[in-house]
């Protein structure tokens, strides 16, 4: 799979929309990330470790293509002035997909779920269901507080990434949303009869208690943090096993909601993830830009000023349509900053 995707990546032109279409097509490049996740989950369940050199060759093949894909797509985005207007934007998911669904509707926020995982989820739902998978372009920087806010009602009309009181967050209308508590309060004020549950809570509830909880609900928000949490805790072996079980649990949750009378569901993510089997080599870690740093993550720096390190790209928040003086710096390939 890596070799066939590599050939296609090498031939890809400079148009950002073409790159997105190539990745999300029916037999698109997402198959590479799917194959890698399945491999890592499979290896984590073996009784004995596989032959080290052969396994290393396979992992390296994925990593090389991943790096080439990241570099090529970044170049295409820069050339397109960071726009991909042919695709639906993340901030329009609520207004264009969720709001039009017959009520009650479930709206699942899955932290760090990749596109390929969404494809696999669609295949694990009952064959009698009507299912469609479509991509959306995420909001930058692709970190949880920004991506989750972009999925909220009102984001299609007004959305910025700003610093307020030393904190980073999204702003919708006059509301500053730096964390989960602020986002929950905002959604509850915007959506009448909103019910908010975690995936764990939903799966643990008895059917009778769930029906009672959902009485009169118009929108049922279900939040899953399992993927992101597994990847961020540093337990690599466990993370590989969790990645796969989350997809089954999401399918179980959708079936459970349907049995309780919530027959329509929209599943979306705040951002995806890169998942490698070991920490980045020192050669793949870049010094942070310095300057006035608001936040530093492994895959993005947010602040003002400083120097753009080699192998990185800088974009002003205003160039992304935000009413803000912030700047963002991202590694162009699959490396990261010395953070976390």
In this predicted structure, the answer to whether residue 280 has a pLDDT above a threshold of 80 is no
pLDDT in tens, 61-104: 999 999 999 999 999 999 999 999 889 999 999 999 999 999 99
Among 12-16, 110-114, 265-269, name the one with the lowest average pLDDT: 12-16
In this predicted structure, the answer to whether residue 340 has a pLDDT above a threshold of 70 is no
Percent helix / strand / coil, the chain, rounded to 5 = 45, 20, 40
**From CA 329, how far away is CA 313, in angstroms rounded?**
6
* Contacts with 112 (C-beta within 8 Å, 6 or more apart), sequence order: 227, 228, 231, 269, 270, 271, 272, 273
b/e per residue 154-172 (b: at least 16 CB within 10 A): bbbeebbbbbeeeebbbbb
Mean pLDDT of the 218-224 span? 97
Per-residue pLDDT, 234:
66
Per-residue pLDDT, 45:
86
Alpha-carbon distances, residue 172 vs 136, 163, 254 (angstroms) = 19, 13, 29
In this predicted structure, the answer to whether residue 123 has a pLDDT above a threshold of 80 is yes
Mean pLDDT score of the chain: 94
Mean pLDDT of the 280-299 span? 88
Global pTM? 0.94
Mean pLDDT of the 105-132 span? 96
In this predicted structure, the answer to whether residue 305 has a pLDDT above a threshold of 90 is yes
In this predicted structure, the answer to whether residue 278 has a pLDDT above a threshold of 80 is no
């Amino acid at each position: 799979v890596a070799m066939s995707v590599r050939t296609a990546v090498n031939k890809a032109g400079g148009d950002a929309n073409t790159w997105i279409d190539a990745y999300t097509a029916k037999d698109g490049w997402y198959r590479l990330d799917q194959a890698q996740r399945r491999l890592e989950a499979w290896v984590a369940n073996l009784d004995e470790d596989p032959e080290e050199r052969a396994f290393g060759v396979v992992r390296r093949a994925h990593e090389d293509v991943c790096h080439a894909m990241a570099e090529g797509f970044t170049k295409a985005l820069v050339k397109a002035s960071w726009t991909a207007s042919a695709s639906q934007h993340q901030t329009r998911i609520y207004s264009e997909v969720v709001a039009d669904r017959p009520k009650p509707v479930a709206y699942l926020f899955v932290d760090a779920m990749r596109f390929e995982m969404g494809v696999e989820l669609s295949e694990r739902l009952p064959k009698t269901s009507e299912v469609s998978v479509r991509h959306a372009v995420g909001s930058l920087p692709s970190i949880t507080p920004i991506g989750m806010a972009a999925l909220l009602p009102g984001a299609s009309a007004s959305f910025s990434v700003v610093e307020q009181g030393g904190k980073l967050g999204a702003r919708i209308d006059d509301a500053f949303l730096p964390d989960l508590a602020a986002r929950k309060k905002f959604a509850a004020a915007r959506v009448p009869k909103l019910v908010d549950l975690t995936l764990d809570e939903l799966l643990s509830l008895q059917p009778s208690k769930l029906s009672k909880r959902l009485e009169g609900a118009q929108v049922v928000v279900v939040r899953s943090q399992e993927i992101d949490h597994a990847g961020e805790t540093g337990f690599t072996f466990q993370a590989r096993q969790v990645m796969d079980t989350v997809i089954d649990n999401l399918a179980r949750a959708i079936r459970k909601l349907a049995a309780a009378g919530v027959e329509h569901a929209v599943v979306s993510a705040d951002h995806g993830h890169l998942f490698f089997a070991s920490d980045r080599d020192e050669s793949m870690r870049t010094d942070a830009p310095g300057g006035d740093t608001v936040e530093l993550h492994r895959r993005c720096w947010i602040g003002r000023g400083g120097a753009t390190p080699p192998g990185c790209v800088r974009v002003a928040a205003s160039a992304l349509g935000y009413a803000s003086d912030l700047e963002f710096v991202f590694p162009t390939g699959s490396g990261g900053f010395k953070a976390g």
